[in-house]
Amino acid sequence: MYDSHLRKIFGSQTDQFRQSKVLMVGAGGIGCELLKDLLLMNYGEIHILDLDTIDLSNLNRQFLFRQKDIKKSKAMTAQQAVSHFNHASKLVAHHGNIMDTNMFPLSFFTQFDIIFNALDNLEARFYVNKIALFTKIPLIESGTSGLKGQVQPIYPYETECFACIPKEQPKTFPVCTIRSTPSKPIHCITWAKNFLFPQLFGDDVSDQDKLKPQDIESDNKAEIEALLKESNELLDLKVLVNQAAPGDKSFVSKIVEKIFKEDIERLLRIETLWKTREKPEPLRCEPATIERLDGQELWTVEENLALFIDSTSKIAQRLKQGPVDFDKDDEDTLDFVVSAANLRSYIFHIPMKTKFEIKQIAGNIIPAVATTNAIMAGFSALSSFHVFHATMKEKVSKSRMVYDSNQPTRFVNTSGLAPRNPKCPACSVTRGIITIDLSRFTIDELRKAIIDKYGYSDDIGIAEGTRLLYDYDFDDNLETKLDKVCSYGNVLFISDADDELDSLELLVDRGDDLELPELEVPAKMVPEENKEEEGEEDDLIMEGDDLIMESDINGLDGPKRKAEDSTSPVKKRKLVADEVEVIEL
Amino acid sequence: MISKTLSEDEIKLYDRQIRLWGMEAQTRMRGSRVLVVNLTSVGCEVVKNLMLGGIGAITVIDSFKVLDQDLNANFFIDKTQVGQPKVLAAEARIKDLNPRVNLTVSTDDWQEKPEDYFLSYNLIVATGLDKTQLTRLNAITRKLKIPFYATGTHGLYGYIFVDLIEHESSVKYEKNPTPKKVGELSPTSEIVSITEVVENDVELQNCIVKTRFVPLSEIFINNYDKLKYYFPTPRKLKKISPVLPILLALLEIPSQIGKPIEDVAIDAKELESKVAEVVSRLKLPEEIIRPELVEKLAQQAFCEFQPVSAIIGGAVSQDLINMLGRRELPLNNFVVLDGFTNEMPIYTL
């Protein structure tokens, strides 16, 4: 018998694997490994879900993919690649985004006994965590970054959920550091990628995106004026870029003249900036003649300048065919960022970096190896057999969280599952699933049903995401049918107008009638005095996307238990309320 | 002689791992030849990881034939291949993982190979062998100065034994709050030299650490009270995993791999007396003997379970890659995996 090993280890529990249906979200580094493990455990039905396609740089670890599979769907390719060793499982592959509620409505999730997360981003992780909370399906969460990794089994409302411990926010830099006083290579790379690139090649900058004096976070009036002037002049350069004739590189010398000479000279005139800093030196050199540059080596400033001219004119030509965005795998855009960052580093006496190094920082590349993925996927699969214990108490007490260790006495750290955080923005919220036929009911009918069911004393507010559907100041839509304002898979946010009862989240699921879940809505906690947060040094935001430091991007939090978050649920809700926009019909 | 630098294609293919361990380690991997003894479930994992990582050459030697039960433990074979020699059945799928790696397979019995057969390898990984076999192979690797890994699994449990003889690697430690000094780091390792570096604004000490290992024949006896370093009090000694002595005792039972698992029957009482022997030789407290756990391991002995193979195989491969790249502290020298509690302690025996 092919499953005789399993029978000897698990006895009759072997059949429980076979009778279970599981969902694996992500068929990448951890996913390929996990799929293999789940198949050889003979899980009855495994759904593989991924929105991504295969890339060359995946092949060093995602062992189900080959050179010939590049650009194909990960989920579909993985399904085919395992067919020869799949003896017991029904496999279903889905090429799509887990957060797409049309493709994956609630009814899709409720068919599963266990959900395995093998994701690489925080947004999707938080989403699946929320789905697990709505459906109470056990979730086994995992993540890796280089040699680090972790596995966290989550029993919704019984143990800590993915949102119970605040995740580290991406690191950002003050605008003035990026724009006038860089001191590290990363400041220059951020400047090249997030400031200069969109300024020269981005869509037309709207008034909203324009630099405002209050954004600069500097008390230095002269600096603010200099930066504003610089910004206006950049708009002129953009016109040059847009008008560049094919083969004409002369416009680039005007760009070089301005951003690497004139802007620097202007900064130099603000003497207060350089009292404690080394003064930058405006660029004075001629481009080298370049043919092919080695990405592993440091280039001279002349070589960088030549590449800057070359890549800028190439991107300017491509803009005539359509928009060009920065992409680490787009050589022209990468060359632009590398050369611009290095030229700026040179000017500010900061060490230059190789293209290989800058690609990692600008492209948020996280090192990844097969071994860590195999190990963490193994622990994820192992964790799943505790789901089959008879009682919740047993499931929770036998399960362990696993994370990497650098101690010479243990290969991994383990800990019991922590209880849920009462202040968690996700699992401390009262929530349930409403089954409803949206085309049959109006907002007012829903409002009355909710007030009756949960005992809100007077009136409630209803919002979907940041869109307000109804509150006592905004009753225009009361007679509107719900299918005009929301859809299945949406989460409705219900708040008490009298602030007596706690808020409520209702996930909209398709039904024939209107059926509200059985829930106890507790009294609202009295909000604590909101302390003003101390301004942190690195707290300011660049325009455009923030620069995300490695390891944040895949949501690895590590074993550190941080002090409780200042973002209490109450405060978070206030924030939501401030941001609501009125829907237009 | 192969070229000393990596080609542009190799750099692109191995990009995500080069960013972890650097070009030099990657080049060293490409220059290495590894022998894997037995294509067990954990053997498959090691082979997969090393193929993906871009080792220069791998030889897999295994004289067994594919059994039905292997279909649930070996992802390189399919059900039409039952009865065929295992390595021949798996060869094409292994090769397909990475055509750049020079793969050879052999259906010979490694025990009949002359000593100089092993000479052409920089590294040997043995899976599923017993104490007698391991002692013999380890004697050869010691004589030929070849780093040696031995590993096996029993159901939810598994072990890794490492003998790198003597190994130097660079290890980065945070300088603060307690800076390292040149000299003894543990009873089996010492810091030879220190260079200070700053990475991402953190002050680090890059230490060259020399680690000494012992052959397998010495780990069953607590010769030098090495355990005392990490377990200085009787109370701490009691915290040693009760799985450790059982795994060591199971090594004394002749290897059962390649047999139908239904035919493998380990007598729990007999195993328990072997465990008691190991416990007394290692001077471990008697409380560490857990009859119910001994019974469980007797039942699961020689069973292969994919997630356990993946963890053990991943740990062996990672240590082996670190070793080739001369980075990080090596595993020294006995790792235990308890797949029920997810604990994975490392003991210096």
Q: Inform me whether the pLDDT recorded for A213 exceeds 80.
A: no
Query: What value does the mean pLDDT take over residues A221-237?
Result: 78
Tokens 């007012």, residue?
A444
Highest average pLDDT, of A308-322, A548-562, B239-253, comes from B239-253
d(CA B62, CA B42): 13
Instruction: Specify the DSSP element, H or E, that contains B174.
Output: strand B166-174
Of A165, A171, A26, A172, nearest in space to A558 by CA:
A165
Q: Do A402 and B262 touch (CB under 8 A)?
A: no
Domain ranges of chain A: 4-168+367-416, 183-349, 430-529+577-582
For A68, name the nearest residue in chain B, comparing CA atoms only: B96
- Lowest-confidence pick of A204-213, B79-88, B159-168: A204-213
- Contact status of B4 with chain A (Cβ, < 8 Å): no
What residues in A contact B13, CB-CB < 8 Å?
56-57, 59-60
Return the bridge partners of B347, or none.
B334
Portion 180-239 of B in contact with A at CB < 8 A = 186, 230
Domain ranges of chain B: 8-165+306-347, 166-212, 224-300
Of A193, A191, A349, A354, nearest in space to A282 by CA:
A349
Reported as a single tens digit per residue, the pLDDT across A136-154 is 999 999 999 999 999 999 9
Say which residue, A396 or A429, is predicted with more confidence.
Answer: A396
Q: Determine contact, residues A543/A215, Cβ cutoff 8 Å.
A: yes
d(CA A524, CA A364): 41
Q: Determine contact, residues A317/A243, Cβ cutoff 8 Å.
A: no
Structure tokens that stand for A315 in this block:
């991107």
Q: How confident is the model at residue A572 (pLDDT cuts 50, 70, 90)?
A: very low
Residue A575 is predicted with a pLDDT of 27
Structure tokens that stand for A288 in this block:
């080298």
Residue A535 is predicted with a pLDDT of 37
d(CA B151, CA A315): 54
Measured over the CA atoms of residue A573, residue A574, residue A576 and residue A581, the dihedral's sign is: positive
Q: How confident is the model at residue A567 (pLDDT cuts 50, 70, 90)?
A: very low
Which one-letter DSSP state was computed for residue B208? E
Highest average pLDDT, of A270-279, A321-330, A570-579, B47-56, comes from B47-56
Measured over the CA atoms of residue A298, residue A300, residue A302 and residue A303, the dihedral's sign is: negative
Residue B226 is predicted with a pLDDT of 75
Q: Across all residues in chain B, what is the average pLDDT?
A: 94
Q: How confident is the model at residue A369 (pLDDT cuts 50, 70, 90)?
A: very high
Residue A290 is predicted with a pLDDT of 85
Q: What does the angle CA B64 – CA B69 – CA B70 come to, to the nearest 5 degrees?
A: 50
Tokens 């002692």, residue?
B135
Reported as a single tens digit per residue, the pLDDT across A35-46 is 999 999 999 999
Query: What value does the mean pLDDT take over residues A198-227?
Result: 71
Residue A474 is predicted with a pLDDT of 85
Q: Is the ipTM of this complex over 0.95?
A: yes
Residue A584 is predicted with a pLDDT of 34
Q: Is A329 helix (H, G, I), strand (E, B) or coil?
A: coil
Residue A571 is predicted with a pLDDT of 28
Q: Inform me whether the pLDDT recorded for A530 exceeds 70.
A: no
Name the amino acid, one letter, at A115.
I
- Name residues whose C-beta falls within 8 Å of residue A127's C-beta, 6 or more positions apart in sequence: A98, A99
Q: Inform me whether the pLDDT recorded for B228 exceeds 90.
A: no
Q: What percent of chain A has pLDDT over 70?
A: 87
The phi, psi pair for B16, rounded to 5°, reads -70, -25
Cα–Cα distances in angstroms (integers) from residue A317 to residues A133, A290, B267, in the given order? 50, 20, 78
- Name residues whose C-beta falls within 8 Å of residue A65's C-beta, 6 or more positions apart in sequence: A32, A54, A58, A59, A74, A77, A78, A81
Is there a catalytic annotation at residue A486? no
- Lowest-confidence pick of A207-211, A216-220, A518-522: A207-211
Residues in chain B: 349
Q: How confident is the model at residue A425 (pLDDT cuts 50, 70, 90)?
A: confident
- Name residues whose C-beta falls within 8 Å of residue B338's C-beta, 6 or more positions apart in sequence: B156, B157, B241, B243, B344
Residue B82 is predicted with a pLDDT of 96
Residue A583 is predicted with a pLDDT of 37
CATH of domain B8-165+306-347: 3.40.50.720
Task: State the number of CA atoms in the 13 A half-sphere of A398 facing the CB.
Answer: 17
Q: Which fold has domain A430-529+577-582?
A: 3.10.290
d(CA A314, CA A330): 12
Mutation to test the B interface, candidates A33, A411, A551, A552, most B Cβ within 10 Å: A411
Q: What percent of chain A has pLDDT over 90?
A: 60
Say which residue, A246 or B47, is predicted with more confidence.
Answer: B47
Kindly give the residue spans of alpha helices, DSSP state H, lying in A348-410: 355-362, 370-384, 392-398
Q: Does domain A183-349 have CATH number 1.10.10.520?
A: yes
Query: What value does the mean pLDDT take over residues A348-358?
Result: 95
d(CA A150, CA A141): 8
Query: What value does the mean pLDDT take over residues A122-130?
Result: 95
Tokens 């490409």, residue?
B30
d(CA B207, CA B191): 6
Of A482, A438, A461, A507, nearest in space to A585 by CA:
A482
What residues in B contact A409, CB-CB < 8 Å?
230, 345-347
Q: What Rg do the C-alpha atoms of chain A give, in angstroms?
A: 28
Residue positions forming the annotated binding site of A for Zn(2+): 161, 164, 424, 427
Return the bridge partners of B211, or none.
B167, B189
The number of beta carbons lying within 10 Å of the beta carbon of residue A271 is 9
Name the amino acid, one letter, at B24.
E
A430-529+577-582 matches A183-349 in CATH topology: no
The phi, psi pair for A241, rounded to 5°, reads -60, -45
- Contact status of B97 with chain A (Cβ, < 8 Å): yes
The CATH class of the A4-168+367-416 domain is: alpha beta
Q: Is B187 helix (H, G, I), strand (E, B) or coil?
A: coil
Q: How confident is the model at residue A21 (pLDDT cuts 50, 70, 90)?
A: very high
Query: What value does the mean pLDDT take over residues A76-101?
Result: 95
For B348, name the nearest residue in chain A, comparing CA atoms only: A409
Task: State the number of CA atoms in the 13 A half-sphere of A326 facing the CB.
Answer: 26
Q: Determine contact, residues A115/A23, Cβ cutoff 8 Å.
A: yes
Say which residue, A502 or B115, is predicted with more confidence.
Answer: B115
Taking each helix axis from N to C terminus, what angle separates B291-300 and B268-281, rounded to the nearest 10 degrees? 120
Reported as a single tens digit per residue, the pLDDT across B279-334 is 999 889 999 999 999 999 999 999 999 999 999 999 999 999 999 999 999 999 99
Q: How confident is the model at residue A183 (pLDDT cuts 50, 70, 90)?
A: very high
Tokens 């996280």, residue?
A366
Reported as a single tens digit per residue, the pLDDT across A533-557 is 433 333 333 333 333 333 333 444 4
Residue A570 is predicted with a pLDDT of 30
Compute the CA torsion angle A421, A427, A429, A434 (nearest 10 deg): -170
d(CA A459, CA A513): 23
